[in-house]
Structure 1
Amino acid sequence: MGLRSGPLSCIGRNYITDSTLEKFYSPSGPLSRMPGYEFRPQQLELALAVQEFLRDPLERTFAAEAPPGVGKTFALLVPALREAAGERRILFLTAGIALQEQLIGKDLPRLKGLLGRDFSFGLLKGRSHYACLRKGAALLSSGAPDLSPSLFAEADGALSDVPGWLAETETGDLSELNAGGDHPVLARLTAGGRGCIGTSCPYRSRCFVIRAYRSAQDWDVVVANYHLFFSHILEGGGAFPVRYDWLICDEAHRMPDVARSASAIRAGADGLASILSPRVLQGFDALLRAHSVEPSEVREEAGRCRLALRALFDAVRLRMPRDGGLSSCDPDLLRLGRVLTDGLDRELHALRGIEDRFMAGDFANPSALAEGAELMNWIDEVRSFKKSLLWCLEVGRFPGWAYWGDGESLTSMPVAAAEIVRDVLEKEDPEKIVLSSATLTLSGDFSFWSGESGITPDRTLAVPSPFDFARQMEIWVVDVGLPVGGEGYDDTMCRVMKKLCNENGGRTLVLLSSLRLLRAFARRMREGEGGYAVLVQGELPQRELLARFREDETSVLIGSVSFREGVDVPGEGLTQVIVDRIPFPHPGDPLVRARNELEEGKGFVRVTLPNARMFLRQAVGRLIRSSSDHGRVVLLDGRAVERRDWRVLESLPSCRCTRLSLREGNGSLFREP
């Protein structure tokens, strides 16, 4: 499908002119009706390239880098919608919620009017975002014995009347309940995770998930995220649930990470403990007795399994290396794991007769069929845990896979994603694939991203930024005089960052590499009055934090790596971005160690450093979002200048760069000669 063919560079290419498309993006064209629109030649260049690619019958994949401010979303969608003309369905994938909400709430509705065309679109979510009617009925009929009534009564919105909401909602989307994502009621209502009994479900004709996926079959543009895309294909072993012809992937630099995450294998102690809980097993009592299986014996064996589970994870806490990573099998842990899996085998053996009768079709009564299907689901969950646990304990695929654990779970994840991404795209086999991001190249070269993603595009394009960085921004590289994480490091960093925020009058995005430093800096910022609001990741949903940051022009937003993307605050509300250090992962991270082993000791140069340079570009890209923006980026890591061989500054916009050091005693900064 063109994933392995050689690339055709489009840099400096002369495109076939299209007066209609050029007029659309012109200073007086339809787009000019949008507030704040600025004509940008780079946007038109990208749109023309997309159009030409879609018209070329020989090319299947196109990768384009478009820096912040180009307007790549409209550059991708306008030619795609024009060329599709209702004859082809588009699947538009993103990594972040912010872009999905912008597409559904603003961009696609706007394009309907601007293009003068009617087309349908919608956001497809994963199963966990919808309510399960069967679970809802069971939760309400039981009176939720393990849930406090106040959890319902004290909540705002529909959560205070779950029965009424379930009866009236047309979508079953749990976001309508206005509850926090970790609310216990949502965990009991969700259609995600274990519990789906498929065709045996008495509520199947009204299933919200089926209804949503069925509706999506009629949309012209389906918006979804990478996690749903990869997890559905990799976990289910089938195709994506909605048919589509063209695939547009924005934020395509995130594809390898999401593909690895979707491929991860995890054995969680809490998960099995929940499966084996007396409350769950009691629900099968009548079914077991009807098939001459003594429920008390099943529960007793489950109790022994829970003890074995506890013994295993107690040992994991004691024996796991300090960094949590494993490079070879620990015989003692494997022995304890087999004690547990042997107990689970005995549990499954006791239920074998019921399973055989169910598979033979002996459950004709609808009620019995639903109960039997639920037990079959439980059996599948136990078998899946067994398989995952042994995979994680045997450590059989290191260094191709990383293995780590703590007292709560054991996890294994592939360290490279190229083969995974390539196989998924070849299996899906769309007619056309467009991949775009603000960061796909290093010094204009797509090779690193191509190697990590497994995609060798037929055509590539890297458009320059529309901004005059030499005029609009400057970079400060500050040497704080301490090694990262060394004694006194956090305190020094907090003093310097607070001083920088105060001198700038707030208006700052602070991006920190560790949650420890994030919490310490948040405490320091709230000591005394700074004259501006301090917004901290984790204290509010990300969407609300960003909304408040945009509304309050003098505020300071403190976040971690997840805020390197999706922060778009043009104007005076953001004139300073502070980054604590070059975004290297911890060298003891199990994934980093395994990748270094896989790369024969050259993982830092081949993978870690290129990734860090791209991550830093993403962070710096938060500052300048329009031609009138201005400000500075402060990188509190002197290595960016000292280690010229790392070429860190070369990957950042070309502008004035000043090196500063921390003056001992008063904590002020001074410029180095």
Structure 2
Amino acid sequence: MFQPLMHPIRDIGFLFVHMAAPPAGAVAPYAVAAIRITPEGKRTSYHSLIRTKATRARDFMHSHVSRKALGGAPEHAQVQDALCDFLAGLEFVFCYDPYDALPALQELLRGLRVLDLGFAADYFMPWGSSASPRQLWETIHGQPRDKVSFSAEEGAELGLAFTRHLFGSVLADTRFPGARALRHYLAHSDTLFGDACCHLLHHFSGYFDGGLVTPVTADDTPDWRQFLEKAPTIEPRDAQGTGFTEVPERDISQLYEQLAHRRKGYRVREPQVTYAGHVAHALNTNAVACIEAGTGTGKTLGYLLPVMEFLKRNPQQRVAIATYTKSLQNQLYGNELEACRELFGQYRSIPAALIKGKSNYVCAHKLDDVLSPDMDGEELLAWLFFVNICYRYRLADCEDISPRLRRRLDGNRQLTGLMLEVSAGSGCHATHSHCPAQVVTAEAANARLIITNHNKLILMEKDGKLNGLFRHCVIDEANHFEDAVRSAMSPEVATSDVQGHARYLREQCRKLVASPSTPPLDRDRAERGVDAIGVLLRALDTMRDRFLAMDRGALGGAIAVTPAHKAFTNGHIANDLKHLHGLMEAVHENTAFFNGKEAGRLPLPFKTLSRCRTMRMLVHEAMFNLAQLRTGLESEGTWQSVQVFPRNWILGGGQVYVGPLVRNHILARRDTVVFTSATLTHQASFAPFRRSLGLGKGQHILFDDTEAPPKPCFVTRVSPPFEPDFALVVPSGTPTAMFEHKATWLNYVSKVIPDLIELNHGATLVLCASYEDLEALRERLEREYDGEYPLLFQKKGEPPAALCDEFRAAKESVLFGVETFWHGVDFPGDTLTQVIITRLPFPSPSSPLMDARKRCLPDAAYWDRYRYETAIKFRQGVGRLIRRETDKGIVVVLDNRLLKNRKLAPCPVVEGMQNLPEHLRRGKRQP
């Protein structure tokens, strides 16, 4: 796909192949369809089944092709001959490949080149999803599709429809002016991908619409920056003051009564009104509030309406709403807020903005510096991907690099390295008026309501344009806030990044040494720079070896650092970190000639010099983080971790207890803070949550600054509007899932899960405590289970959205997942009537953070915290089952430690499946 096109394009072909995934061995094609189109729009087609015995329940769910039908299908070789005859004369074929089965496709096509339409979707439309045919169909049509299955013929038509949509609409320069620049660089990439895209854009009407649609109406241009949006002028700040008009708490129910009259399907829920009253009280009293509200309360509208009413009554006040997950952030801004504005006209004049952390955005200035006339192939395509992200920043961000893009375009870290370099997280200055980060920051500074994420809220005071503006905030999904604080405030050094920055600087220094135009003084400096960088790179490799000598377990994941160890210089890591800091400082100093007035005399292009300055800044940031990590070694209550890779390592660390950071840097700088979630308490107590965030015990919060007035604090629980109808059961004979009994436990779990699936007729979510457990189960079940219910397994690094959609659409399916499926996913109704928790989610005692807690906390406090984290995550997992009043089912725990730790459970535990209430024995499904 990234090699040059060898011949002129004439006919184009579209292919779709269903692949079966047998228990062992390569995937096998079992249904194929192809469409061929001439430049005049003439279509011919081919389709066939392929005989195979390898299909499983999930394959039938995707295609509705039965094993019986495949038994009478033509042999593989016969279909291969006919397909290759049909595609004869083509150099390549467009193929949508949801199976990521390129080797099997090329074997079927006898080496014919394949241009992956899924890659094109992720490349040009990263805000959508192409992980499954259903998701791609919904992205194209903008509406839900009930069916999961696609015949091979429908799959080929889907690929054609996507191509028509992408090149006739998404990349049409009348709708998207930036397409003119994308076309220019695609054409100069000298790749099949670039040439094919340009060919379709320029010949679109002939292939598809007979002259009705012309996506190219203007000339291509290399001036990509002309299409960037400019940041608005920031209006003068209003003085917020201390006085404000309160929201009448007694009248809060009237807002929801109005909503019931105006919004179809909505009815007033007393718990939601009660919840909204607590939010209004917090705003009225400038308090810190911890509000737990059970499933079904409707928290989003519960806090959004009183916030909007508060802003309406107080034109000088501003509010920030922070969430943990991007999905809730988008739902809030794109759905709930717009609905409020539409239904309540008085709120339409309140300006609102969505803002993410700066590292989510691309700095257009740094991206332009990276561009070089020598770039082509994959390198140029990687750069162009971020140009598209820069254009589409309201729809996509730097995190929207799909696993498919990483597999195909990040082999030499083109995407990963470039993302780090062009991120607006550092070095994107206020003068960069056309950078997306500056645009959204200016919009946020002009807004009175912002919707953001936890990390941005935590770091907002470091942003000069937003510092002190949003003195009232609601923190949703607050049970994750401590982790967000720790992540945002924890320094980290990734040597793969440092190596990349240093090597680029060395490359430019070597050019200066070799150039006769370089002044002698600068040539000497460049030579010193080359030497300093070489010493640093060798030291980084040596440090990797020392970490492995400390503990080879670092190759398997992040582990706690043992600061005093014979592997380090003079027996302590502080000596090595000090040495590395000095080497980074030497690199920074010996490349200083790239900065300042004297840089203009260097025989290097302006963009190269600008990029060198960025690299020096990134090396300096790594040096600063390394200094923080070294200081942390000498501080009480800190942790350090390391993970080692074949060529590099990552060192991180931070504070074990973040309470002082939250109390003195977040709460002290705001008037109102509302912490809310469905899971804040443990055994009906807020004490563990309050301790985790430094909120104290009493009705007021005291700050380290004794002159700061105490802040009122209250906690409250809002009961859900219905009593959940489910049972929590541990089957008879369930073994312990302790590590030392893992073999026995795994044998039991792999045998009992198929029985539970059959008993419940699918509709099951299986929650695993780790990817290791998930992979062990997947390996066994794919080999041994041959039932009628499709098994869906989460894959490491793959976004969960596609699996969630597939699970919702195929109501008999079974979904196996890890961390992301314990919280934040919603499967109401008969999609899910059984949750299986394979192992109690105790934190790993060997994790760097838990290791540090063991050292820093008294035993009682350590075990209290251990049980609290387990209970919260367990409640979140149990909570996946009951999302609506009509939901019912069972939660099965395959770990008998629950019987000894019943206080972890949110309800009584039933022992033995035979003791289940009759109406829950098979959930809602019938045999």
User: Shorter-normalised TM-score: what interval?
Assistant: 0.7 to 0.9
Q: Deviations over 1:353-407 (max 9, x none)?
A: 666xx3xx77799999876665454334334433444554676246511122232
2:329 to 96, 100, 120: 100
- SS of the counterpart of 2:812? coil
1:524 to 763, 769, 780: 780
Report the equivalent of 2:683. 443
Inter-CA distance 533–576: structure 2 relative to 1 (3 Å threshold)? same
2:734 to 480, 489, 502: 480
Note if contact 1:131-1:173 (Cα within 8 Å) is conserved in structure 2: no
Scaled by the length of structure 2, the TM-score of the pair is 0.61
Separation in structure 2 between the aligned mates of residue 618 and residue 326 of structure 1, nearest angstrom: 31
Q: Give the partner amino acid of 2:694.
A: G
Inter-CA distance 597–151: structure 2 relative to 1 (3 Å threshold)? closer
Note if contact 1:31-1:114 (Cα within 8 Å) is conserved in structure 2: no
Q: How far 1:253 sits from its partner (Å)?
A: 1.4
- SS of the counterpart of 1:411? strand
Inter-CA distance 348–189: structure 2 relative to 1 (3 Å threshold)? closer
Separation in structure 2 between the aligned mates of residue 24 and residue 316 of structure 1, nearest angstrom: 60
Q: Deviations over 1:212-251 (max 9, x none)?
A: 2112222332111112222455xx5868568223211111
Note if 1:230 corresponds to 2:458.
yes
Q: How far 1:510 sits from its partner (Å)?
A: 1.6
- Describe how 1:25-104 pairs up with structure 2 within 5 A: 25-26=256-257, 29-31=258-260, 34=263, 36-56=265-285, 59-85=286-312, 86-104=315-333
Inter-CA distance 365–238: structure 2 relative to 1 (3 Å threshold)? farther
Report the equivalent of 2:892. 634
Report the equivalent of 2:560. 325
Note if 1:503 corresponds to 2:755.
no
- SS of the counterpart of 1:480? coil
Separation in structure 2 between the aligned mates of residue 330 and residue 453 of structure 1, nearest angstrom: 33
Separation in structure 2 between the aligned mates of residue 39 and residue 529 of structure 1, nearest angstrom: 47
Q: How far 1:268 sits from its partner (Å)?
A: 2.0
Inter-CA distance 394–73: structure 2 relative to 1 (3 Å threshold)? closer
Note if contact 2:794-2:818 (Cα within 8 Å) is conserved in structure 1: yes
Inter-CA distance 98–445: structure 2 relative to 1 (3 Å threshold)? same
Deviates more, 1:139-148 or 1:538-547: 139-148
Note if 1:534 corresponds to 2:821.
no
Deviates more, 1:597-606 or 1:563-572: 597-606
Inter-CA distance 107–403: structure 2 relative to 1 (3 Å threshold)? same
Q: Give the partner amino acid of 2:259.
A: P
Inter-CA distance 137–53: structure 2 relative to 1 (3 Å threshold)? closer
Q: Deviations over 1:498-544 (max 9, x none)?
A: 32223212212221111111122233343444333333333642233
- SS of the counterpart of 2:451? strand
Separation in structure 1 between the aligned mates of residue 611 and residue 754 of structure 2, nearest angstrom: 56
Q: Give the partner amino acid of 2:778.
A: A
Q: How far 1:421 sits from its partner (Å)?
A: 1.2
Inter-CA distance 50–166: structure 2 relative to 1 (3 Å threshold)? closer
Report the equivalent of 1:577. 835
- Describe how 1:104-503 pairs up with structure 2 within 5 A: 104-116=333-345, 117-118=347-348, 119-144=350-375, 147=378, 159=385, 165=388, 173-174=396-397, 179-180=402-403, 182=406, 184=410, 186-187=415-416, 188=418, 193=423, 197-199=427-429, 204-231=432-459, 233=461, 236=462, 240=466, 243-277=469-503, 279-283=504-508, 289=518, 292-294=522-524, 295-320=526-551, 322=553, 324-330=559-565, 332-333=567-568, 334=573, 335-351=575-591, 358=596, 374-389=611-626, 392=629, 396-397=633-634, 400-407=637-644, 408-426=649-667, 429-455=669-695, 456=701, 458-469=713-724, 472-478=725-731, 480-485=734-739, 486=741, 487-503=743-759
Structure 1 vs Structure 2 CA RMSD:
3.5
Q: How far 1:627 sits from its partner (Å)?
A: 0.9
Separation in structure 1 between the aligned mates of residue 565 and residue 630 of structure 2, nearest angstrom: 7
Separation in structure 2 between the aligned mates of residue 466 and residue 544 of structure 1, nearest angstrom: 31
Separation in structure 2 between the aligned mates of residue 166 and residue 555 of structure 1, nearest angstrom: 35
Note if contact 2:663-2:694 (Cα within 8 Å) is conserved in structure 1: yes
Q: How far 1:74 sits from its partner (Å)?
A: 0.6
Separation in structure 2 between the aligned mates of residue 418 and residue 256 of structure 1, nearest angstrom: 8
Separation in structure 1 between the aligned mates of residue 749 and residue 778 of structure 2, nearest angstrom: 12
Separation in structure 1 between the aligned mates of residue 600 and residue 371 of structure 2, nearest angstrom: 27
Q: How far 1:136 sits from its partner (Å)?
A: 3.3
1:660 to 902, 912, 927: 912
Q: How far 1:142 sits from its partner (Å)?
A: 4.2
Deviates more, 1:329-338 or 1:82-91: 329-338
Q: How far 1:600 sits from its partner (Å)?
A: 2.3
- SS of the counterpart of 2:829? coil
Q: How far 1:209 sits from its partner (Å)?
A: 1.2
Q: How far 1:464 sits from its partner (Å)?
A: 1.1
Separation in structure 2 between the aligned mates of residue 168 and residue 597 of structure 1, nearest angstrom: 49
Separation in structure 2 between the aligned mates of residue 541 and residue 179 of structure 1, nearest angstrom: 8
Unmatched 5+ residue regions in structure 2? 1-246, 696-700, 702-711, 915-920, 922-927
Q: Deviations over 1:276-297 (max 9, x none)?
A: 11x3433466789466243344
Q: How far 1:16 sits from its partner (Å)?
A: 7.3
Aligned length: 618
Unmatched 5+ residue regions in structure 1? 1-14, 153-157, 663-668
Larger-Rg structure? 2
Q: How far 1:33 sits from its partner (Å)?
A: 5.1
- Describe how 1:552-571 pairs up with structure 2 within 5 A: 552-571=810-829
Separation in structure 1 between the aligned mates of residue 393 and residue 643 of structure 2, nearest angstrom: 42
Q: Give the partner amino acid of 2:763.
A: R
Note if contact 1:312-1:337 (Cα within 8 Å) is conserved in structure 2: no
Separation in structure 1 between the aligned mates of residue 270 and residue 565 of structure 2, nearest angstrom: 59
Q: Give the partner amino acid of 1:602.
A: A
Q: Give the partner amino acid of 1:453.
A: L
Note if contact 2:458-2:488 (Cα within 8 Å) is conserved in structure 1: yes
Separation in structure 2 between the aligned mates of residue 67 and residue 517 of structure 1, nearest angstrom: 30
Separation in structure 2 between the aligned mates of residue 238 and residue 531 of structure 1, nearest angstrom: 59
Q: Deviations over 1:600-630 (max 9, x none)?
A: 2334432111121122111111111111110
Q: How far 1:132 sits from its partner (Å)?
A: 2.7
Scaled by the length of structure 1, the TM-score of the pair is 0.82
